Amino acid sequence: MDKGGISLGKNMSETESIKKTILAVDDSKVMHEMIRQVLGQKYRVLVADNAVDGLSMIYHEQVAVLLLDVSMPGIDGLELCRTLRSIPQFQTLPIIMLTARDNSFDKVQGHLAGATEYLTKPFDAEKLNQLISSFLN
């Protein structure tokens, strides 16, 4: 009876929930859109404008991979990364720094903060997809 309609709705949401969640923390709306375009077909993409909102989302959503900009107002990406690595439940969360900072010192700082990978903007969409796939498999 009504069960069929409820079941259909449930199946649709189950299909959505099968998609792994990627959270992008970046203060650029342009980057939010680029990341949604590149990853939105395969993954559920959430975005946050700053570290505080990003941290809140990580606690309330089951985030599979975190994309993190370094340069943001307030708490920067490096500090958010260090904070997450100090919390036991997030020590193994794949964190990809996705930033315009591309010199060797910045990359070392990113890895020391706990980043799993470090990509520079403009990013290669295929490389980002491959990285995320490798973390999830």
Q: Which domains does the chain have, with CATH numbers?
A: 20-136 (3.40.50.2300)
Check residues 4 and 91 and name the one with the higher pLDDT: 91
Quote the CA–CA distance of 30 and 106 in Å, as a whole number: 23
- The enclosing H or E element of 98 equals strand 95-99
Strands 44-48 and 95-99: unpaired
Residues 27-83: tens digit of each pLDDT = 999 999 999 999 999 999 999 999 999 999 999 999 999 999 999 989 999 999 999
Quote the CA–CA distance of 10 and 126 in Å, as a whole number: 33
What are the helix (H) ranges across the chain? 2-18, 29-39, 51-60, 77-85, 104-113, 125-136
Quote the CA–CA distance of 76 and 70 in Å, as a whole number: 6
